[in-house]
C-alpha cells in the first residue's frame, strides 16, 4: 500500500497514516489475545478452583457475553464520545479486566474479570475498524482497516505462545495478566493520536477536522473530502431510528447477515477447539498443540495476503473465493471424520483440510466482514449501526461455542462440519446476491448509493457500488 508518494509532504503524511494504523491495530491485537488466551489458561484454572460445569462454561464463554454487551454500548459511545476517546477507554478497561483476572482470589472474582475483559473486547471490536476507516484515504482503506483483522490474528497467535511460555508450572495468572502490557502501550499511544475527522465535522469542529486531514491528504483532497462529509451530514436527520428506515435496509441485511454467517460457518470451533479436534485425528497432545500454533500462523499469513489484495481485487472476489474454499474444505473435513478409523492418510486429509479452511476464512470472511461494516453505514449512525451488527456477531459466536460440543454429541463431528459446509454455501449465495463492492470509493459515495437504493450485489453478478472510481 502506498499513499500519494509524489505529492509535497507525502513522506510525513504516509508516516502518520502508518503510525496511526499500527496503534489503532493494537486494539485488534488485544481483541485477539484476550479471546485466545483462555484456551490454554483454562487447563490450569480448572485445577485451581472447584467449579461446576456451568461455572466452567461461564469462565470460558463469559468474555463472549461481555463482548456482546461491550459492542452494544460501544457503538453508541463511539458516536457520543468520539472514536479516539472510546479506544482510550477500551485500553483502560482491558487493563482493569486483565488485572482483576490475574489476581482473582476466588472464581467469582475471576468471572467478574472475564466479563470486564469481554466488555473491552466488545468496544475494541467495533471502534478499531471504525476509527481506521474514517482516518484512511479511500484508495487504501481496505488494507488499513484489514490491518485490524491482521492484528486480531497476531493477537490469537501470541496468546498461543504466551500460553506455551507459562505452561510449565501452570502459571495461568501470568497468562491472563500479560494482556496488561499491550493495553498500556495502546493507552499511551492514543493520547497522541487525533480524533476521526468525520466525527469532528459532525460535532461542529471542522477546523480541527481540517488539521487532522492535512496530516494524510493534500489541500485539494481535503477540500473535496470536507465538502462531501458536510453534504452527507446535511442530508440526514440522525438517530437510532434511522436504522429502521426502509432505505437503510440493504446495509442492515448485509451487516447482520455477514455477522451471523461469519460465526455459524464454524471458525471459532477451530480457533477455540483446535487441539481437541486434532487430538481426535490421532495426534499426541504435544503435537496437537504444535499443530494449533501452525493454524495460528496460517491465519496470520493468509490475512497478510488479504491486506495486500483487498484494495486491488475488491471485497466481493475475496469473499467469494474464500467461501468456495471454506465450503469444499469443510466437506472434506466431514468426510475424513466420517470414514471409520484414522489411518495416516485420513489423519493427513483432516489436518490439511483444517489448515486450508482457516486459510480460506483468513483471506475472505475474516477481514471482509469487519471492513464492510465500517464502510456501508451512513456517518450519522455509523457507530450505532456497527454496534448493533457486532452484537449479532458476538451472540452468534457465543451460541456456536456453546452448541459445538452438543452438536458433536448429537450429530457426530462429521455431521457438524457438514452443517458448517452447508452454511458456507448459503454465505456464498448471500454474498452473490447482497454484498456490494466498495473498493476505491469514498465513504460518502457509498452512502449516496445507499440513499439511492443502489447499494448491493446484484443477481446478474455485477455490483451497483462499483461503477465509478470517483476518488
**Region from 4-12, 146-154, 413-421, 445-453 binding ligand BGC, contact rule CB under 6 A:** 146-154
**What b/e string do you get for 275-299 counting C-beta neighbours within 10 Å, with b at 16 or more?**
bebbbbbbbeeeebbebbebbbebb
Main-chain phi, psi angles of 271, to 5 degrees: -65, -40
Q: How far is CA 8 from the centre of its chain?
A: 35
Shortest distance in whole angstroms from residue 321 CB to ligand BGC: 17
Identify residues 394-413 at the interface with ligand BGC (CB under 6 A).
397
Q: Between residues 17 and 67, which has the closer beta carbon with respect to ligand BGC? A: 67
Q: Between residues 27 and 442, which has the closer beta carbon with respect to ligand BGC? A: 27
Should residue 158 be labelled a site residue for ligand BGC when binding is judged by CB under 6 A?
Answer: no
The C-alpha cell 452494544 sits at: 72
Short-list 253, 222, 223, CA closest to 377:
253
**Region from 137-145, 197-205, 260-268, 451-459 binding ligand BGC, contact rule CB under 6 A:** 260-268
Q: Between residues 175 and 226, which has the closer beta carbon with respect to ligand BGC? A: 175
Among positions 366, 378, 436, 465, the unique one binding ligand BGC when judged by CB under 6 A: 366
Q: Between residues 226 and 368, which has the closer beta carbon with respect to ligand BGC? A: 368
**What b/e string do you get for 200-221 counting C-beta neighbours within 10 Å, with b at 16 or more?**
bbbeebeeebbebbbbbbbeeb
**Region from 69-77, 151-159, 275-283, 321-329 binding ligand BGC, contact rule CB under 6 A:** 151-159
Other Cβ atoms closer than 10 A to 431? 23
Packing angle of the helix pair 365-375, 141-165 (nearest 10 deg): 130
Q: Between residues 229 and 368, which has the closer beta carbon with respect to ligand BGC? A: 368
Among positions 25, 150, 152, 326, the unique one binding ligand BGC when judged by CB under 6 A: 152
Identify residues 279-298 at the interface with ligand BGC (CB under 6 A).
none
Shortest distance in whole angstroms from residue 185 CB to ligand BGC: 21
Among positions 58, 140, 144, 267, the unique one binding ligand BGC when judged by CB under 6 A: 267
**What b/e string do you get for 111-144 counting C-beta neighbours within 10 Å, with b at 16 or more?**
bbbbbbbbbbbbbbbbbbbbbbbbbbbbbbbbbb
* Residue numbers at the binding site for ligand BGC (CB under 6 A): 35, 149, 152-153, 156, 262, 267-268, 271, 299, 366, 370, 397
Amino acid at each position: 500500500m502506498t499513499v500519494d508518494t509524489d505529492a509535497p509532504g507525502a513522506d510525513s503524511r504516509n508516516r502518520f497514516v502508518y503510525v496511526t494504523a499500527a496503534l489503532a491495530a493494537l486494539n485488534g491485537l488485544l481483541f485477539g489475545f484476550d479471546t485466545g488466551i483462555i484456551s490454554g489458561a483454562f487447563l490450569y484454572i480448572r485445577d485451581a478452583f472447584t467449579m461446576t460445569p456451568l461455572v466452567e462454561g461461564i469462565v470460558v464463554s463469559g468474555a463472549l457475553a461481555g463482548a456482546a454487551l461491550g459492542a452494544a454500548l460501544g457503538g453508541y459511545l463511539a458516536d457520543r464520545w468520539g472514536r479516539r476517546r472510546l479506544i482510550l477507554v477500551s485500553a483502560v478497561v482491558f487493563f482493569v479486566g486483565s488485572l482483576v483476572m490475574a489476581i482473582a482470589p476466588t472464581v467469582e472474582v475471576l468471572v467478574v474479570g472475564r466479563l470486564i475483559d469481554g466488555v473491552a473486547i466488545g468496544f475494541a471490536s467495533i471502534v478499531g475498524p471504525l476509527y481506521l476507516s474514517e482516518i484512511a484515504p479511500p484508495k487504501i482503506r481496505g488494507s488499513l482497516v484489514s490491518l485490524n483483522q491482521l492484528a486480531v490474528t497476531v493477537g490469537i497467535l501470541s496468546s498461543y505462545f504466551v500460553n506455551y511460555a507459562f505452561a510449565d508450572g501452570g502459571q495461568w495468572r501470568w497468562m491472563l495478566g500479560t494482556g496488561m502490557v499491550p493495553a498500556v502501550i495502546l493507552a499511551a499511544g492514543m493520547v497522541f493520536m487525533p480524533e476521526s475527522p468525520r466525527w469532528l465535522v459532525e460535532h461542529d469542529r471542522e477546523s480541527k477536522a481540517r488539521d487532522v486531514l492535512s496530516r494524510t491528504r493534500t489541500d485539494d483532497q481535503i477540500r473535496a473530502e470536507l465538502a462531501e462529509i458536510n453534504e452527507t451530514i446535511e442530508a440526514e436527520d440522525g438517530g437510532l431510528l434511522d436504522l429502521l428506515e426502509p432505505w437503510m435496509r440493504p446495509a442492515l441485511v448485509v451487516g447482520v447477515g455477514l455477522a451471523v454467517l461469519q460465526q455459524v460457518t464454524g471458525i471459532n470451533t477451530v480457533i477455540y477447539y483446535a487441539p481437541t479436534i486434532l487430538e481426535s485425528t490421532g495426534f499426541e497432545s504435544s503435537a496437537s498443540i504444535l499443530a494449533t500454533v501452525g493454524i495460528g500462523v496460517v491465519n496470520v499469513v493468509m490475512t497478510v495476503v488479504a491486506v495486500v489484495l483487498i484494495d486491488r481485487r475488491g471485497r466481493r472476489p475475496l469473499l467469494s473465493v474464500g467461501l468456495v474454499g471454506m465450503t469444499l474444505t469443510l466437506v472434506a473435513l466431514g468426510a475424513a471424520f466420517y470414514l471409520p478409523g484414522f489411518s495416516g492418510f485420513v489423519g493427513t486429509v483432516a489436518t490439511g483440510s483444517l489448515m486450508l479452511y482457516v486459510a480460506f476464512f483468513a483471506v475472505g470472511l475474516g477481514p471482509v466482514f469487519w471492513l464492510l461494516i465500517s464502510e456501508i453505514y451512513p456517518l450519522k449512525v455509523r457507530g450505532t449501526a456497527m454496534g448493533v451488527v457486532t452484537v449479532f456477531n458476538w451472540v452468534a459466536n457465543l451460541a456456536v461455542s456453546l452448541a459445538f460440543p452438543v452438536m458433536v454429541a448429537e450429530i457426530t463431528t462429521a455431521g457438524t462440519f457438514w452443517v458448517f459446509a452447508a452454511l458456507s454455501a448459503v454465505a456464498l449465495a448471500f454474498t452473490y446476491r447482497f454484498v456490494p463492492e466498495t473498493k476505491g470509493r469514498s465513504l460518502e459515495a457509498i452512502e449516496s448509493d445507499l440513499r439511492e437504493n443502489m447499494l448491493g450485489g446484484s443477481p446478474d453478478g455485477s455490483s451497483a457500488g462499483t461503477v465509478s472510481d470517483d476518488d
